[in-house]
Amino acid sequence: MGIRPIGQRRHLIGYLIISPWIAGFALFTAFPMIYSLFLSFTKYDLLGPPEFVGFSNFERMVSDHLFLTALGNTAFYTLLAVPVQLLLALFMALLLNQKLRGINVFRTALYLPTVTPTVAFVVLFVYMYNPEFGIFNAILGWFGIPKQGWLTDPNLAKPAFIIMSLWHVGGQMVIFLAGLQAVPETLVEAASIDGAGKLLRFWHVTVPMISPVIFFNLVLGIIGSFQVFASAYIATNGGPKHATLFYVLWMYRHAFENFRMGYAATLGWVLLGVILVFTLIQFAVSRRWVYYEGEGT
């Protein structure tokens, strides 16, 4: 053992300290990804060894009529749910950004549903969506609207899930709120001295200032929505008429109900590709509308 140069020792210590992550990343992320890529070219039912089948999983996927159904359902859900969620979260954050007494109580009230366990929440909504006696139809009844089969009507099932998801936007709301509170007051006041009204100030000062936060919520919201699973698995199991057969649910069935691990691995990689494309597009478009302080416009 000689004396190690200080620089080299420092590198070693650094790696030692982060070694749990390196090991975890190798074991539970990198290796599974590579293994999954390998599996996607095989037929594997967990009983026998994986059997190499070339590109046939991909061919099968393209000709699978449920592929487009599942992808379409998921895209429909995502493209509708995420904007509505973000608008609602921003609206609630704006309400919470007022300087009012007792605002903390309201913040708690608005955030609370978000920590409710998904399963408990979905089960509750199944009960509330009950076509005969559910509270949703009772409320509609007050306005003279006839009873709806929320989870049994193929046209309503996806909107029913979107409505349900609106009670879980607390995370986005708090992030918006933090963004709003970071907007320098001097900027807003300067605009107001220049004679800008509330709406104008909001649109030309607040929105550009919080655009990085909007972008953050948008990117993560889309990634999250593409993985919608538990609600559909529990409430409708993909029905009625495949209306809520979302991509991850469909993939999950292949993997863990039919044990087509090879095919499921293929579907996983395709999902990853789709999400990646969506994310890259957003990053490219973001240059046009996201304003980062210190970069200039």
Partner 1 sequence: MRRISQISFQAADASTRQRTLRAYVWIVFGRLFGYAALLLVAVISLLPLAWMVSTSLKAFGREFPFPPQWIPNPVVFGNYLTAFETSNLARYFGNTLMISVLATLGTVISSSLVAFGFARLEFFGKRVLFIILLSTLMLPVIVTLVPTFVLFKTLGWIDTPLPLIVPWWFGGGAFGGAFFVFLIRQFMLQLPRELDEAALVDGASYFRIYWRIMLPLSKPALAASAIFSFIHHWNDFLNPLTFLNSEEWRTLALYLRFFLYTEAGGGAGLTRWNLMMAASVVMLVPVLVIFFSAQRYFIRGVALTGIAGR
Q: Answer yes or no: are the C-beta atoms of 149 and 191 closer than 8 Å.
A: no
153-182 positions binding partner 1, by CB under 8 A? 167, 171, 174-179, 182
Structure tokens at 163: 């409505």
Residue 257 interacts with partner 1 (CB under 8 A)? no
Residue 283 interacts with partner 1 (CB under 8 A)? no
* Span from 51-59, 68-76, 101-109, 152-160 in contact with partner 1 (CB under 8 A): 101-109
Q: Which of 1, 3, 100, 284 binds partner 1 (CB under 8 A)?
A: 100
Q: How far is the CB of 118 from partner 1 (least distance, A)?
A: 6
Q: Which residues are bridge partners to 43 per DSSP?
A: 51
Q: Answer yes or no: are the C-beta atoms of 134 and 128 closer than 8 Å.
A: yes
Cα distance between residue 292 and residue 288, in whole Å: 11
Cα distance between residue 43 and residue 202, in whole Å: 56
Q: Answer yes or no: are the C-beta atoms of 97 and 181 closer than 8 Å.
A: yes
Q: Which of 67, 76, 202, 216 binds partner 1 (CB under 8 A)?
A: 216
Q: Which of 1, 3, 47, 120 binds partner 1 (CB under 8 A)?
A: 120
Structure tokens at 94: 């704006």
Residue 196 interacts with partner 1 (CB under 8 A)? no
- Choice between 58 and 252, CB closer to partner 1: 252
- Choice between 13 and 68, CB closer to partner 1: 13
Structure tokens at 193: 């001295």
Cα distance between residue 59 and residue 295, in whole Å: 47
Q: Is the dihedral of CA 19, 25, 27, 30 positive or negative?
A: negative
Token pair 């104008």 in the structure block, residue? 200
36-75 positions binding partner 1, by CB under 8 A? 36, 39, 44, 46
Cα distance between residue 54 and residue 66, in whole Å: 22
* Span from 31-39, 57-65, 68-76, 281-289 in contact with partner 1 (CB under 8 A): 31-39
Q: Which of 90, 126, 232, 243 binds partner 1 (CB under 8 A)?
A: 126
Residue 90 interacts with partner 1 (CB under 8 A)? no
Residue 232 interacts with partner 1 (CB under 8 A)? no
Residue 17 interacts with partner 1 (CB under 8 A)? yes
Residue 251 interacts with partner 1 (CB under 8 A)? yes
Question: 65-96 and 154-165 helices cross at what angle (nearest 10)?
Answer: 40
Residue 278 interacts with partner 1 (CB under 8 A)? no
Q: Which of 72, 83, 113, 197 binds partner 1 (CB under 8 A)?
A: 113
